[in-house]
């Protein structure tokens, strides 16, 4: 056996938050093939890294983002969610180009890698350009092209996206695709069912916005006498794996519709910034498969899952009990995204892909370390993330990204200027 890499004397934190010291992790062809507390030196080892002062964990997952929206970061501030969509973001997006999307996605990816993200789930337009960005940078991406069911060009977009899913599926173990119906309020039941049936046919999942505000729930009842969850259930949407973006205003009656492959992607910073309220996610958090997300950077202004997890815990403690939302629970929520994406990356264990984050907690912001989970969740930031690895390949090493970030930032700046020059257009959809 030829080992590409041995991580010597590592302290592992697994998906459950359990800690094992003095472990030697053997990696070959992007996979963890051996873990031992005995170090075996041999001639067929390409590289050995001493991890004596590092904690090695699974990578972080960002289960819902609109990565190209990094190009809009800071463009719409101090407005409520309705003006944010209707007067700012959607009018700007009406003039967005595929190149804007590409460089926005690249900008997002380097920010995510900096913050320890090894895989993300995306929901946006010009999805083929996001796929390009994923393949070029080394990260993992689960891409859901956005579909508006009430759009005049729905049939053409549906065919184009179905072709994209056919074309891109299986070309890389770092890329997967699924259908992205925007929401039940922009996809009437007929088109929603058509999308669901296509997902079943191709054996892929869904990624959809649900019950984001009280008004959405009220409007749904007034129009259909059903919640968003009931509408999706009627369309067969819970028969396939599903990422529910936000879903914070689900009700107790909605719990009955959820399947074992229904995952909630929560972004507390967005809910705070746009005054969306907390809804019932915190109330039912032990009954739901909650994962951490960031939304697009135009709302929370950052793509840091650790920040979002921290806010989830703190808001829960503030509103309910300080003894709830325990660090072990928050850690498992942070790890749950691996299960939702099914890239075979969910743990530091034999047989899983080597998608890892290396934490140095011997820094002023995290010392002293009484409990490593507490240090990571409540104190750490990107400075503590020394290495980031996907598929056994370093994307960040010794604190530096191994990507030409200067060129990406330069191009993103140029495209941000073009966006302002073009100005706002008109959105045909209203939030």
Domain with 257 in it: what CATH number?
3.20.20.140
What is the tally of structural domains in the chain?
Answer: 2
287 and 260 co-located in one domain:
yes
246 and 392 co-located in one domain:
no
Does 410 map to a domain? no
Does 239 map to a domain? yes
* pLDDT value for 384: 98
Q: Do residues 182 and 151 make contact, with C-beta atoms less than 8 angstroms apart?
A: no
CA 192/CA 204 separation, integer angstroms: 15
* pLDDT value for 162: 98
Q: What are phi and psi of 11, to 5 degrees?
A: -105, 110
* pLDDT value for 130: 98
Tens digit of pLDDT at every position of the chain (431 positions): 788 999 999 999 999 999 999 999 999 999 999 999 988 776 788 899 999 999 999 999 999 999 999 999 999 999 999 999 999 999 999 999 999 999 999 999 999 999 999 999 999 999 999 999 999 999 999 999 999 999 999 999 999 999 999 999 999 999 999 999 999 999 999 999 999 999 999 999 999 999 999 999 999 999 999 999 999 999 999 999 999 999 999 999 999 999 999 999 999 999 999 999 999 999 999 999 999 999 999 999 999 999 999 999 999 999 999 999 999 999 999 999 999 998 999 999 999 999 999 999 999 999 999 999 999 999 999 999 999 999 999 999 999 999 999 999 999 999 999 999 999 998 777 77
Q: Which of 341, 373, 393 is the last residue of a domain?
A: 341
Tokens representing residue 70 in the block: 């990094």
> From residue 283, how far is each of 250, 307, 315, 318, 333 by CA, in Å?
10, 20, 11, 12, 15
Does 287 map to a domain? yes
Residue 10 sits in a domain whose CATH number is 2.30.40.10
CA 157/CA 180 separation, integer angstroms: 11
Q: What are phi and psi of 331, to 5 degrees?
A: -60, -45
SS3 of residue 224 by DSSP: helix
144 and 288 co-located in one domain:
yes
* pLDDT value for 429: 74
Nearby residues of 71 by Cβ (< 8 Å), 6 or more positions away: 100, 101, 103, 104, 107, 412, 415, 416, 419
154 and 188 co-located in one domain:
yes
Does 21 map to a domain? yes
Does 220 map to a domain? yes
CA 136/CA 140 separation, integer angstroms: 10
Q: Where are the alpha helices (DSSP H) in 31-153?
A: 81-83, 90-93, 98-114, 127-137
Does 69 map to a domain? yes
pTM: 0.97
Q: Angle 123-304-147 (CA atoms, 0-180°, nearest 5)?
A: 5
Q: Which of 298, 317, 341 is the last residue of a domain?
A: 341
Burial class of 2 by CB neighbour count within 10 A (0 to 12, 13 to 18, 19+): exposed
* pLDDT value for 80: 93
Burial class of 374 by CB neighbour count within 10 A (0 to 12, 13 to 18, 19+): middle
67 and 137 co-located in one domain:
yes
* pLDDT value for 430: 72
152 and 241 co-located in one domain:
yes
The domain in which residue 10 lies consists of 5-58+353-401
134 and 243 co-located in one domain:
yes
Does 421 map to a domain? no
Nearby residues of 260 by Cβ (< 8 Å), 6 or more positions away: none
Does 427 map to a domain? no
Q: Is the bond leading into 376 cis (omega within 30 degrees of zero)? A: no
181 and 265 co-located in one domain:
yes
48 and 178 co-located in one domain:
no
CA 278/CA 370 separation, integer angstroms: 31
* pLDDT value for 428: 77
Residue with tokens 């969850």: 229
241 and 262 co-located in one domain:
yes
CA 167/CA 179 separation, integer angstroms: 14
77 and 202 co-located in one domain:
yes
SS3 of residue 395 by DSSP: strand
* pLDDT value for 160: 98
174 and 241 co-located in one domain:
yes
């Amino acid at each position: 056996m030829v080992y590409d890499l041995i991580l010597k004397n590592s302290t592992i934190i697994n998906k459950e938050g359990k800690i094992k010291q003095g472990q030697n992790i053997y990696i070959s062809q992007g996979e963890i093939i051996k873990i031992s507390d005995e170090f075996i030196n041999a001639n067929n080892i390409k590289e050995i890294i001493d991890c004596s002062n590092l904690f090695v964990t699974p990578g972080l997952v960002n289960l819902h983002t609109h990565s190209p929206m990094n190009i809009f970061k800071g463009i719409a501030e101090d407005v409520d969610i309705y003006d944010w969509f209707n007067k700012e973001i959607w009018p700007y997006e009406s003039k967005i180009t595929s190149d804007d999307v590409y460089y926005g996605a690249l900008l997002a990816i380097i920010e995510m890698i900096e913050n320890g993200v090894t895989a993300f789930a995306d929901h946006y337009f010009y999805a083929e350009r996001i796929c390009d960005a994923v393949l070029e940078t080394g990260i993992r991406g689960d891409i859901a092209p956005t579909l508006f069911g009430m759009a005049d060009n729905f049939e053409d977009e549906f065919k184009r996206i179905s072709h994209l899913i056919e074309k891109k599926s299986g070309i890389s173990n770092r890329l997967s695709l699924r259908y992205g119906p925007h929401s039940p309020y922009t996809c009437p039941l007929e088109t929603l069912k058509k999308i669901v049936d296509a997902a079943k046919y191709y054996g892929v999942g869904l990624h959809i916005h649900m019950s984001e505000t009280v008004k959405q729930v009220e409007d749904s009842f007034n129009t259909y006498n059903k919640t968003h969850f009931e509408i999706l259930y009627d369309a067969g949407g819970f028969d396939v794996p599903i990422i529910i973006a936000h879903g914070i205003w689900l009700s107790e009656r909605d719990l009955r519709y959820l399947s074992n492959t229904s995952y909630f992607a929560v972004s507390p910073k967005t809910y705070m910034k746009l005054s969306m309220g907390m809804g019932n996610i915190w109330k039912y958090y032990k009954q739901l498969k909650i994962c951490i997300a960031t939304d697009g950077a135009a709302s929370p202004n950052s793509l840091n899952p650790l920040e979002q997890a921290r806010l989830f815990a703190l808001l829960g403690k503030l509103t309910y009990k300080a003894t709830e939302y325990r660090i072990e629970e928050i850690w498992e929520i942070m790890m749950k995204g691996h299960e939702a994406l099914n890239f075979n990356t969910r743990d530091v264990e034999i047989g899983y892909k080597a998608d890892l984050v290396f934490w140095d907690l011997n820094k002023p912001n995290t010392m002293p370390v009484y409990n490593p989970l507490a240090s990571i969740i409540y104190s750490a930031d990107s400075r503590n993330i020394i290495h980031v690895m996907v598929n056994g390949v370093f994307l960040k090493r010794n604190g530096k990204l191994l990507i030409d970030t200067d060129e990406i930032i330069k191009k993103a700046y140029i495209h941000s200027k073009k966006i302002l020059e073009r100005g706002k257009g008109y959105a045909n959809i209203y939030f």
